[in-house]
A and B are shown apart, each in its own frame.
Chain A
């Protein structure tokens, strides 16, 4: 069976005035139909670049090597027509910041209807009904269909974005920081909604966030990115509770467990800053900030190694290479 989405040694480099900047460096990742995968990482780790590449939404300055396969078809070699057919209908993206992703001068019903009309998945007569149905599914009253984006709250706008993403019954939804600008309670509502819809229709979901706790509650699997690489990958709970990579451990520690005496008056962070992708450190890119770094870390560029059957991490201190 072909995977829903597969990255094969995907490398994405931006051409800039300062020379080539590698944003994604050799990512291998597979998503089966109906699976949920969280991609965690900080700004500059390459997580959004990876997401944009799936639908070829990167700027012209980006060059992609390796393969990105959607249902077995390479996105890079797809014709424009084929790509258009895939966008929205097969794979859709919920962008971060619904404030800016919606057209401020069009009613939300028209915006939700647009992909359906373009792809012919609904006829003119049935579009209204379908829009109302979608709004109901994301928990918005049908009368809001005639509202403009500015008349909605942040949470409602993000629901509209989710409704749009689901409009053409895609098999894959990519959500890029879908709840970043939202309040905690609204964030919980939106995450619950997204999880329920994805489960109901057995849609594949890739959720991108810098917040491990958001991903832990929503996704079965987790991939942690640092400096353009996946440095740890496995079942969510195992990755968070039994982090094998020191970077993952630090990320997990950054958001404390309330009630845990260890973190009381002891916020944990990492010294230093995420690396500049244009000037990556030698060896393991994390070694300058790593609390466990040893001599070999500065010159061994380590790839992922198995921690156990379904869990791997890129750290020289893990077992022997397989």
Chain B
């Protein structure tokens, strides 16, 4: 069942003399109990999309739907919505008030949302769910007395206390030590299995996606360019951008290092927005296709179905075929 849905969402930031389309037409569904990895470089709009899904940013076009109803606009109703969809940030040290104890950090959300029930019991339950056991021992501690992994668990406990349906985690392990990373990712999987929590994990780390995600959405300059099951996208990538990202994530194979800086959303290229950096286009494609890459925008991917936004993958284009019978595109 679709729990959360972005329906053709666009978000523009105004700048002097124009606007920046940070998210430029995104269709995306999230099922209950599903973990979706949203992958891309900085500036691709993944954080803006996450903020929009959280109701922190109103889309200029399209809408976000939770349980098939559009997000409310009234402050109070929006607050109720945010209880269901909780955010976890990259840096737990910055997210925690250094003068608040673990107990206060976890209880803060309960107080803001005026959650009924026994506060200390709810805090203890959330801490235990986040793997901080025995909860009583951690409650009086200050963030400085905790390790990085424990701090991130406190942040997660703060989210869990509100009994959310969805976690949106923005690079949840990027600032943690390598040996601690696996434990936090395992926690996200446990929460999905035990509590049925759905999650959107915003990351540039494809190994993380392989570790925990059911589906992967690859974003480039405000659009989703490839979407599908993690197994398919990560082992049989179709978009040249996904292929390049995967090739630099694995040190063993031949790497495709894209030239140029991370894309700039104030200057979105015409045609396929990836074409100026596209290694497949640079390696030579039939002139008719190359022409389309340079001039013709691609249709949006549909939120649920697997797909790839690339002219080279359009079925009507005849492509040179290699011995295995697959289109030979690298």
Contact = CB atoms under 8 A, between A and B. Distances in A.
Nearest to B247: A188
A156 interface: yes
A210 to B, nearest CB: 5
A247 B179 CA distance: 9
A33 interface: no
B9 interface: no
Given A155-B261, A256-B211, A185 B178 contact: no
A217 B251 contact: yes
A254 B183 CA distance: 10
B234 interface: yes
A145 interface: no
Interface string A257-287: 1110001111111110110000000000000
Interface in B157-207: 177-186, 189, 204-207
Interface string B237-269: 000000011101111100101110110000000
A22 B205 CA distance: 34
B212 A185 contact: no
Contact of B183 (A187, A213, A264, A270): A270
A300 B7 CA distance: 61
A153 B255 CA distance: 23
- For chain B, what secondary structure do more than half of its interface residues adopt (helix, strand, loop), or is it mixed? helix
B178 A258 contact: no
**Interface band, chain B:** 35 or more
A135 B207 CA distance: 33
B248 A271 contact: no
A258 B257 CA distance: 18
Given A153-B261, A188-B257, A189-B259, A263 B179 contact: no
Given A250-B179, A265-B212, A273-B147, A259 B234 contact: yes
A251 interface: yes
Interface string A20-36: 00000000000000000
Contacts of A253: 182
Interface of A: 42-43, 153, 155-156, 183-189, 192, 210-213, 216-217, 247, 250-251, 253-259, 263-271, 273-274, 289
Given A210-B178, A267-B212, 13 more contacts: A42-B177, A153-B262, A184-B205, A188-B257, A254-B182, A257-B252, A259-B234, A264-B231, A265-B212, A266-B211, A273-B149, A273-B177, A274-B177
